[in-house]
Amino acid sequence: MLRSAHALIAADREMCGDDAAPVVHLGDFCDRGPDTAGVIRFLRAGIDAAEPWRAVLGNHDRLFRNFLTDAVTSDPRLRAGLNWLSSNMGGRETLRSYKIEVENVDFADLVLKETATKVPAADLDFLRGLESYIETEYLVFVHAGIVPGIPLDQQLEDDLVWMREPFLTDTRDHGKLIVHGHTPVDTATHYGNRVNLDTGAGYFQPLTAAVFEDRECWILTASGRAPLHPQPKF
């Protein structure tokens, strides 16, 4: 799905003659998919080749980063009883993508031996280097959202990667259009003050690619650009 999204972006660049604008990835490269290792390898290869690619930190990326860094499986924003290795979180699938078997393995042994030898140091460097948010003249790209009314430089990482409410129901203008994921929707949706591009790729639903010019948005399809207009306000 990631390769297909990049093919749509490449086709749009060729048609429009613009190959310098950044390609922003909204996070959650890890966990809920069969090949986290392949996703990270793909993104690293593009960035290393000086493609204009940028990437923001998602909550699942932070979970994997913290696991590799400190063998931590919890997170202050996880629901009680959940951790990164819980069956519905995707941590086990991520480790399997690195050929690490997680059944019937002592946890300490798993951390100290297998991850150290099977997860490339460059992958951990990639996770550590993910941006909290990306700001342009008209847009703010962030994984989950922001705390409304708080300046960007005062936002906490906890909120940027986990935020739902009060962000999702706040209708005020945030100054710039907020482009985010994290909370799946059936189709990409423009709310006037924000655009949600998470269409459930982590659950094997489509991965959405979009292009922005100023505050205007189009979804990229096999047939070209499809305008994404703000929902009417009632």
Helix, strand, coil share (%) of the chain residues, nearest 5? 35, 15, 50
pLDDT value of position 117: 87
Alpha helices by DSSP H, listed for 57-140, are 59-70, 91-97, 107-109, 116-118, 121-128
Q: Does the pLDDT at position 19 exceed 80?
A: no
pLDDT tens digits along 97-117: 999 877 755 565 666 677 888
Q: Does the pLDDT at position 92 exceed 60?
A: yes
pLDDT band for position 20 (cuts 50, 70, 90): confident
pLDDT tens digits along 136-166: 999 999 999 999 999 999 999 999 999 999 9
What is the rounded distance in angstroms from the CA atom of residue 85 to the CA atom of residue 27? Answer: 19
pLDDT value of position 234: 47
The strands making up 224-227's β-sheet, listed across from edge to edge, are 210-213, 216-221, 224-227
pLDDT value of position 109: 61
pLDDT tens digits along 33-72: 999 999 999 999 999 999 999 999 999 999 999 999 888 8
Cβ atoms of 82 and 89 closer than 8 Å: yes
Q: Does the pLDDT at position 233 exceed 80?
A: no
80-84, 177-181, 205-209: the lowest-pLDDT one: 80-84
What mean pLDDT is predicted for residues 115-133? 95
Q: How large a percentage of the chain has pLDDT more than 70?
A: 95
